[in-house]
């Protein structure tokens, strides 16, 4: 399921190579993929317009941490991964 055209990020994100995945009430979610590869890249959670207010994690690290139970599915990165999976499934 793609992001609806009318859905806009809450915060400014200054990287053009990232794909906006969606937002919840406080966070924007992005995926910065390696060219032509939806299975690798970095997931980003943006918390404000300030350049320092974001978290990022390589997709491979997050996938492994979720599989091992080191990160909860209902955490911020668990949410981000859910948005990524919706994007990936729609674009596969």
| 41-82 pLDDT, tens digit each | 999 999 999 999 999 999 999 999 999 999 999 999 999 999
What pLDDT sits at residue 22? 95
pLDDT at 55: 95
In this predicted model, what pLDDT tens digit does every residue of 43-54 receive, in sequence order? 999 999 999 999
Both tokens of residue 37?
């590869």
What percent of the chain has a predicted confidence (pLDDT) above 70? Answer: 88
* 86 within some domain: yes
Residue 8 forms part of a structural domain: no
The pLDDT of residue 60: 92
Residue 86: domain span: 18-90
At residue 15, the pLDDT reads 85
- Of 11, 14, 79, nearest in space to 48 by CA: 11
Confidence of residue 32 (pLDDT cuts 50, 70, 90): very high
- Residue 82 placed within a domain: yes
Residue 2 lies in a domain: no
| Spatial separation of the C-alpha atoms in residues 10 and 48, rounded to whole Å | 8
Domains in the chain, number: 1
4 part of a folded domain: no
Q: What whole-number percentage of the chain has pLDDT above 90?
A: 72
């Amino acid at each position: 399921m793609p992001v609806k055209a009318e859905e806009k990020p809450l915060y400014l994100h200054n990287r053009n190579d990232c794909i906006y995945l969606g937002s919840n009430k406080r966070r924007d979610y992005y995926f910065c993929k390696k060219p032509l590869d939806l299975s690798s890249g970095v997931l980003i959670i943006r918390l404000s317009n300030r350049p320092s207010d974001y978290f990022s994690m390589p997709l491979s690290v997050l996938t492994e941490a979720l599989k091992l139970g080191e990160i909860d599915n209902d955490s911020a990165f668990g949410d981000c991964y859910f948005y990524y999976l919706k994007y990936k499934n729609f674009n596969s």
